[in-house]
Amino acid sequence: MSEFSDVPRSGGTVCLTFDFDAVSLWMARGMTSPGPMSRGEFGAHAVPRILRLLESRSLPSTWFVPGHTADTYPMLCRDIANAGHEIGLHGYAHEPVSALDAAGEREVVARSMDTLCKLTGLAPIGNRTPSWDFTESTVDLLVEFGIEYDSSLMKTDYTPYFARTGDEAPPDGPYRFGEPSPLVELPVSWTLDDYPHFEYLRLPGLLMPGLRKPREVFENFLDDVRYMLREQPGGVCVITFHPQVIGRGHRMLGLEWFLDRLAELDVSYATCADVARDFRRAHEVAA
């Protein structure tokens, strides 16, 4: 449990999460020339300013860190852990798991676990797959490695749930739902992710314009939290940031504005680990 776990929860919970992809994001796309690499490097440049903001407000957060980032920026990653924030798995070099066979996916999880354990001295209990992708092996593999929760799927918006295993999608019949696993799922959404709203990306056959005004984006984020408080008291809203995206000056000011507005609402903050363990305890009591 984090040092923030004894903070009383209120009407709803916000999980601030950061995917510290650094250069691995661009490597996974085969974009290793100096230009894209420098975009990843900016993520490392922005981490200290993000940590200062979180410290100034005594806010917990969860950082999903590829093993490659931990190997490339070990001191920065130790700074994150030493500040009391949770660190979870995020692949090794931001590999989409659907591009891996079962053996390759196992190797990535094992290597990433080993890297983060050596870096922090603690075994991570959380996972976020790069690009929010799963295979038919992912859930069982994470459970096997002792991972307690994942934050990559989108079945609900404010309600944690137990991820299923064994789903089938036959082309000639209805979808077949598998069985719940022990893996707690903390749902995410592209609408609550800074990357598609802010980041400019141009590839052959793809243009992601990004570059939206921070206030406009954070108003949407804020409305999601407001709706949760009205319609689902006690809910959990997971928000995703990337240091190389949110770390730009005008966006940091937008993030400060967003946190100021949240301070006016009946919300508290928690790491994903604390939320997942609370959910599991409540489920066990209910059972």
pLDDT, tens only, 231-287: 999 999 999 999 999 999 999 999 999 999 999 999 999 999 999 999 999 988 655
> What 3-state DSSP class applies to 78?
helix
- Dist CA 257 CA 144 (whole Å): 41
Domains of the chain by start residue, with CATH:
12-167+176-286 (3.20.20.370)
Q: What percent of the chain has pLDDT over 70?
A: 95
Is the pLDDT higher at 5 or at 223? 223
Pair 94, 28: CB distance under 8 Å: yes
| β strands within 106-195, DSSP E | 126-127, 149-150, 161-165, 179-185
Instruction: Judge residue 84's burial from the number of C-beta atoms within 10 Å of its C-beta, 0-12 exposed, 13-18 middle, 19 or more buried.
Output: middle
pLDDT of residue 7: 47
Average pLDDT over residues 195-222: 95
Rg (CA), the chain: 18
262 exposure class (CB count in 10 Å sphere: 0-12, 13-18, 19+) = buried
Residue 4: the pLDDT is 43
State yes or no: pLDDT of 8 exceeds 60. no
Residue 214 has pLDDT above 80, yes or no: yes
Taking only the tens place, the pLDDT of each residue in 31-49 is 999 999 999 999 999 999 9
